[in-house]
Structure 1
Amino acid sequence: MVRVAGLGISNGLLAIGQAYYLAGVIDMVFLGGQELAAVAGSLWLLAGLACVRALLTYLEGVLAFELAARVKTDLRERLTRHLFSLGPVALANQPAGELLTVMSEGIENLEAYFAKYLPQLCKACCIPVLILAVVWPLDRATAAIMLVTAPLIPVFMVLIGKAAERMNHRQWETLNKLSAHFLDVLAGLTTLKLFGRSREQIAIITRISREFRDATMDVLRVAFLSALALELLATISTALVAVALGLRLLYGEVAFMQAFFLLLLAPEYYLPLRLLGSQFHAGMAGKTAAADIVRLLSLTGGERVPGTERLLSPQQVSLAFNRVHAAYQAGSRPALRGISFTLAAGRHLAIVGPSGAGKSTVAALLLGFITPAAGSILVNGQDLATLRSSEWLRHVAYVPQRPHLFQGTVADNIRLARPDAPMAAVMQAGKAAGAHEFISRLPNGYDTLVGAGGRGLSGGECQRLSIARAFLQDAPLLILDEAARGLDVSAQARLDNTLARLLQGRTAIIIAHRLSTVRQADQILVLAEGRLAEIGPPAELIKRQGVYSRLLAAQAGEGQHV
């Protein structure tokens, strides 16, 4: 930014020199009666100054846009890194449409702010002062006119600034609302068609689009009116200087060369202020977008602060929860209330309970999405908070209830677990997950492109690719978060056999699985309202006739999963 401003200010200094030599040439040729040959040196100098000014203008533009491009790239990288560090839990309450708007339109708005508005603001602050410093010793009257009229332009900008800021804010909020609602409609398109509510949503989108159009027109109206007013002020101010110099020249109070030099400087004096007014809209749009970017960068979450230690004896993993309390937001209702349990290496723990009991919170804690509000989690006797995040997650395989597939090939999606895995290992993982058969039927096998979110694949097929990732990762700790939810009976039965192979030799946390899988667990932990209600082997819990037995009875009567 310093170099950009320096080039602009240097251009302004050269404009002073250009005006001086131009006034001298006109005075010598038209009033002094000299031949052009006598002023050839001055003409060449003027031509050189014009070329240098053109070069400086070009370099200033190039550097300004390079600066803006670097700022946009750095901001996108920083914002993406920050959002990734927050994790899914902290971002759950942030509208996806707003995030998308900030990452795309918001950051793009900063280009005009950094490439045009800020450099022009620097020139508007410096160049008039430099010109005034030249004019003041030469002619106090002209300097006084410039000194009195120039502040009118920034004063006017301040007066319209608040209104323009409100209008820009309204336009930005409407754009966020439009993006969020449009994404929401796309995500629920099937439901809207099913219940015949498409027309209502079209009407809502049309209404918000009109609001955005009106907000945009209000912003443009203020921008054009302010530009017109600023041009008028600058023109009138220049005219005042010209009239005052003309009258004084007429009465012989000032020499022609001096008067003409001052007259040439007058437009250069007001030009930075006029151009600042024309970039004022870009400045307001950039400031509005920057406010949202700063807000996102200031978001904090319950993500685990990465430690520095490495996991000892990573071939096997044992876990211990010691009176762990957890909440998703500060001051919110606790999701877990003082639960304690131990899980030996190679053993399987099933976590069951009604919806909202805190089952998935255990997975969120182990994955580092949130941190315990109190208590501690030990891994092989080491505090999880002291382990390096990237190091720890290499030892955890996670199979969620709704796996996400990214735009790319089937092999690319499986390789997320191990990017450097050879194709032979990818195919072996596909076979182990029972996915090889359906993958082979795809047009290009493992090189078949799948859409974002697994478009073109069934829910069971997406789940098998997620299990293939777990096989490929071959981590000692496995977390299954309702991995069979939403599948039909036959698909669940096939998946159970696959999961049984995946569980072999691994420490496992199995959350709200089907009854057949839960019965295979070494221990069952029953949660109720975030508290540990029961824990023990399946047979022992059935004998107790407690909470677990009631859950079994409810499942048997209603055909629901535990």
Structure 2
Amino acid sequence: MNLDKRLLLYLSDFKTLILSVLGLNGLIGLAIVFQVDKLSSMSADIFLQHKSLFQIRFDLILFLSAVLVRYAGQWGAHALSYTLSAAIKRRVRGQILTQLVRLGPAFTRRQQTGAVKTTLLEGVEKLDGYFGEYLPQMVNAAVIPLLILMFMFPVDWLSAFILLATAPLIPFFMILIGDRADTQTRRQWHVLNRLNSFFIETLQGLTTLKILGRSREHAVKIFQVTEEFRSTTMKVLRIAFLSALTLEWLSTLSTAVIAVEIGLRLLYGKLAFEQTLFILLLAPEFYQPLRQLGPQFHSGIEGVSAAKGIFTLLDEQPQITFGTGIQKTSQPTIRFEHVNFTYPGSQSPALTDISFCIQPTDKIALVGPSGAGKTTLVSLLLRFIEPQQGAIFIDHTPLQELSLQQWQRLLTWAPQIPYLFFGSIMDNIRLADQHAPLERVRVAAQHAMLVDFIATLPHGYDTIIGDRGVRLSGGQAQRLALARAFLKDAPLIILDEPNSALDAETDKAIQTAIGNLMQHKTVVTIAHRLWTVEQYQRVIFLEQGEIVGDASHQELINGNRRYASFVDSAEFMQ
């Protein structure tokens, strides 16, 4: 019956809401019985006793009161159910976002953006149908028919027995149909993931597709996936309509059996008119919650299918451990000791037996051909990934024993292609410190050589830069990322130098900003230019995941043929 144990665990923190929903459903059941009882007695009084409306006015008031209580109870139960659902959705979204932060870039780089987006948005929204519709209707279908049977058995045990015997047929057929619906719903969810991923990738790569003349071909593929999703959705709806028809047929047939049975007994004087009307009116009310459970049953299936994707994400284990230690010195010594790392699914190691030391205020350039292990080494420092062998020590403490949040406060990272969020220049700089006053933001922008550009904008620091900073040039985006680094003012700076050609003026502005940023700091840079390497006191040269040189640039040029050959190669920018 789609009662997923892990989903039900979320209910344990909302006992008051659950008890309130149960109480309201009990009140609704009592109001239904009272309403039918008063209606049958008033009908007997009017048609058999020939009483006037004035004579039955008190019963009429009680009847109308019961109707009011019934519908007020239904409204209250509905509102509480959606309050419960909204609270659980907030919790699940928080858990997903926390988990994505814990898993870090090492996980998100392996995932399709569309699939993660589907889980976070559509997947969580599907839980609304499970907690806000399906489970409340399950409670409704359990409480109200039981209350009706309790009052019907003393009136007519035979009719009550027929209700009791036919009621299980409805959930039985729901389960039979549900197995097939579950398979189709899972397929629908899988196709939706593909569609979202495909559509987002198309939007992100639209410029490339247009340039290569492949946009029409890609549009055809989107249409094909969309058509597959439409076909799968129609199959799910077909099953839903079939199940609704089956449940309606069963409940109608069961009500007809009751009507024929009590009609014959009334005809032969075995049952009084008032009792007959009471049973006849109460029988449809008995089946009504069970019939309404049918449409919600499919909401339950969709919720469980979405939950499987959510729990798969929540069960993913991060590739790093989370320590609690505190780093006491602001500029520590960093030591790599025999560090090895191999990416999942790869046959060759990304880093092999890496050992070196970074002293406070050292300026180190990481140099090497593509795939040499520079980015992997930086990812280890950033704690996106963790050594599989060996260790990294911060002073005398293993890095994995330190608090991740405390360690990340000690460093700043300016990547080759900085990620800029949709919002203003102010918002993007303040990512480094959300509570920084305007004056500090201006000083950071000044150090990053960004002030003159901001002054030309109509709204200054409040100018919206678009999705991923689409309204900025490459150099402006780089300087904005450097402004973040200035605002954070961390003692350890990790840079990935742009390897794309920039105009002379932009290049000079960025190099001046980087020079300002490096003062009195420990700096590790992935270098792609000869000019940059010449400015650093120490160069670590990597090839095929191994350190094959560790000295100054001039010493390596004079004493390391492999380094000298690489510097002269086309891969290294002069």
Query: Which residue identity lines up with residue 514 of structure 1 in the other structure?
Result: R
Cα distance in structure 2, aligned partners of 1:559 and 1:363? 20
Is the partner of 2:360 in helix, strand or coil?
Answer: coil
Alignment of 1:401-412 (within 5 A): 401-412=416-427
Cα distance in structure 1, aligned partners of 2:385 and 2:543? 20
TM-score, length basis structure 1: 0.94
Cα distance in structure 1, aligned partners of 2:373 and 2:353? 12
Deviations 1:289-331 (A, max 9, x none): 22211112112221341x32322121x2321112222344488
Seen in structure 2, the aligned counterparts of structure 1 residues 71 and 219 have a Cα distance that, compared at 3 Å, is same
Q: 1:90 aligns with which of 102, 107, 118?
A: 107
Q: Percent identity?
A: 42
Q: What's the counterpart of residue 312 of structure 1?
A: 328
Cα distance in structure 1, aligned partners of 2:92 and 2:279? 45
Q: What's the counterpart of residue 18 of structure 1?
A: 35
Greater Cα shift, 472-481 or 423-432: 423-432
Deviations 1:222-250 (A, max 9, x none): 21222122111111110110110000111
Q: 2:412 aligns with which of 394, 397, 400?
A: 397
Work out whether residues 339 and 391 of structure 2, in 8 Å CA contact, stay in contact via their aligned partners in 1: yes
Query: Which residue identity lines up with residue 486 of structure 1 in the other structure?
Result: S
Is the partner of 2:316 in helix, strand or coil?
Answer: coil
Cα distance in structure 2, aligned partners of 1:9 and 1:325? 64
Seen in structure 2, the aligned counterparts of structure 1 residues 333 and 166 have a Cα distance that, compared at 3 Å, is farther
Q: What's the counterpart of residue 163 of structure 2?
A: 146
Work out whether residues 312 and 380 of structure 1, in 8 Å CA contact, stay in contact via their aligned partners in 2: no
Q: What's the counterpart of residue 247 of structure 1?
A: 264
Q: What's the counterpart of residue 500 of structure 2?
A: 486
Q: 2:488 aligns with which of 473, 481, 500?
A: 473
Greater Cα shift, 35-44 or 240-249: 35-44
Q: What's the counterpart of residue 229 of structure 1?
A: 246
Is the partner of 2:56 in helix, strand or coil?
Answer: helix
Work out whether residues 302 and 328 of structure 1, in 8 Å CA contact, stay in contact via their aligned partners in 2: no
- Offset of 1:464 from its aligned partner? 0.7
Q: 1:60 aligns with which of 72, 77, 83?
A: 77
Q: 1:179 aligned to 2:196?
A: yes
Is the partner of 2:37 in helix, strand or coil?
Answer: helix
Is the partner of 2:100 in helix, strand or coil?
Answer: helix
Q: 2:131 aligns with which of 114, 129, 139?
A: 114
Q: 2:149 aligns with which of 132, 136, 140?
A: 132
Q: 1:385 aligned to 2:400?
A: yes
Cα distance in structure 2, aligned partners of 1:328 and 1:442? 44
Is the partner of 2:468 in helix, strand or coil?
Answer: coil
Q: 1:517 aligns with which of 532, 537, 550?
A: 532
Q: What's the counterpart of residue 10 of structure 2?
A: none
- Offset of 1:476 from its aligned partner? 0.8
Query: Which residue identity lines up with residue 484 of structure 2 in the other structure?
Result: R
Q: 1:464 aligns with which of 462, 469, 479?
A: 479
Q: 1:260 aligned to 2:277?
A: yes
Q: 1:71 aligned to 2:83?
A: no
- Offset of 1:207 from its aligned partner? 1.2
Q: 1:283 aligned to 2:300?
A: yes
Deviations 1:331-365 (A, max 9, x none): 87543223111011011122222222221122212
Greater Cα shift, 171-180 or 137-146: 137-146
- Offset of 1:137 from its aligned partner? 4.0
Work out whether residues 440 and 487 of structure 2, in 8 Å CA contact, stay in contact via their aligned partners in 1: yes
Cα distance in structure 2, aligned partners of 1:317 and 1:465? 27
- Offset of 1:489 from its aligned partner? 5.5
Q: What's the counterpart of residue 352 of structure 2?
A: 337
Q: What's the counterpart of residue 444 of structure 1?
A: 459
Cα distance in structure 2, aligned partners of 1:247 and 1:547? 104
Greater Cα shift, 173-182 or 332-341: 332-341
Deviations 1:164-196 (A, max 9, x none): 112212222222111111111111111111111
Cα distance in structure 1, aligned partners of 2:571 and 2:388? 36
Work out whether residues 484 and 492 of structure 1, in 8 Å CA contact, stay in contact via their aligned partners in 2: no
Seen in structure 2, the aligned counterparts of structure 1 residues 559 and 174 have a Cα distance that, compared at 3 Å, is closer
Cα distance in structure 1, aligned partners of 2:530 and 2:339? 27
Is the partner of 1:405 in helix, strand or coil?
Answer: coil
Query: Which residue identity lines up with residue 371 of structure 1 in the other structure?
Result: E
Cα distance in structure 2, aligned partners of 1:28 and 1:422? 79
Cα distance in structure 1, aligned partners of 2:351 and 2:280? 77
Runs of 5+ unmatched residues, structure 2: 1-17
Greater Cα shift, 17-26 or 400-409: 17-26
Deviations 1:407-431 (A, max 9, x none): 2221221121122222222222222
Work out whether residues 106 and 384 of structure 2, in 8 Å CA contact, stay in contact via their aligned partners in 1: yes
Work out whether residues 317 and 507 of structure 1, in 8 Å CA contact, stay in contact via their aligned partners in 2: no
Q: 1:347 aligned to 2:349?
A: no
Q: 1:368 aligned to 2:383?
A: yes
Q: 1:500 aligned to 2:495?
A: no
- Offset of 1:140 from its aligned partner? 3.2
Q: 1:2 aligned to 2:19?
A: yes
Q: What's the counterpart of residue 11 of structure 2?
A: none
Greater Cα shift, 293-302 or 234-243: 293-302
Cα distance in structure 1, aligned partners of 2:82 and 2:510? 54
Cα distance in structure 2, aligned partners of 1:472 and 1:116? 48
Cα distance in structure 1, aligned partners of 2:139 and 2:501? 63
Q: What's the counterpart of residue 572 of structure 2?
A: 560
Q: What's the counterpart of residue 429 of structure 1?
A: 444
Is the partner of 1:419 in helix, strand or coil?
Answer: coil
- Offset of 1:143 from its aligned partner? 2.5
Is the partner of 1:429 in helix, strand or coil?
Answer: helix
Cα distance in structure 2, aligned partners of 1:77 and 1:378? 33
Greater Cα shift, 544-553 or 225-234: 544-553
Q: What's the counterpart of residue 271 of structure 1?
A: 288
- Offset of 1:20 from its aligned partner? 2.2
Work out whether residues 369 and 571 of structure 2, in 8 Å CA contact, stay in contact via their aligned partners in 1: no
- Offset of 1:203 from its aligned partner? 0.7
Cα distance in structure 1, aligned partners of 2:170 and 2:346? 49
Alignment of 1:199-214 (within 5 A): 199-214=216-231
Greater Cα shift, 404-413 or 417-426: 417-426
Greater Cα shift, 106-115 or 237-246: 106-115
Work out whether residues 365 and 525 of structure 2, in 8 Å CA contact, stay in contact via their aligned partners in 1: yes
Is the partner of 2:386 in helix, strand or coil?
Answer: coil
Q: What's the counterpart of residue 12 of structure 2?
A: none
Cα distance in structure 2, aligned partners of 1:126 and 1:328? 55
Is the partner of 1:375 in helix, strand or coil?
Answer: strand
- Offset of 1:53 from its aligned partner? 1.1
Cα distance in structure 1, aligned partners of 2:507 and 2:41? 93
Query: Which residue identity lines up with residue 381 of structure 2 in the other structure?
Result: L
Work out whether residues 349 and 522 of structure 1, in 8 Å CA contact, stay in contact via their aligned partners in 2: yes
Is the partner of 2:332 in helix, strand or coil?
Answer: coil
Q: What's the counterpart of residue 98 of structure 2?
A: 81
Work out whether residues 28 and 34 of structure 1, in 8 Å CA contact, stay in contact via their aligned partners in 2: yes
Work out whether residues 566 and 572 of structure 2, in 8 Å CA contact, stay in contact via their aligned partners in 1: no
Deviations 1:79-130 (A, max 9, x none): 1121122111111111101111222222222222211111001121232233
Seen in structure 2, the aligned counterparts of structure 1 residues 541 and 228 have a Cα distance that, compared at 3 Å, is same
Is the partner of 1:408 in helix, strand or coil?
Answer: coil
Query: Which residue identity lines up with residue 308 of structure 1 in the other structure?
Result: T
Seen in structure 2, the aligned counterparts of structure 1 residues 414 and 487 have a Cα distance that, compared at 3 Å, is farther
Query: Which residue identity lines up with residue 308 of structure 2 in the other structure?
Result: A
What RMSD, in angstroms, separates the aligned Cα atoms of the two structures?
A: 2.0
Work out whether residues 530 and 572 of structure 2, in 8 Å CA contact, stay in contact via their aligned partners in 1: no
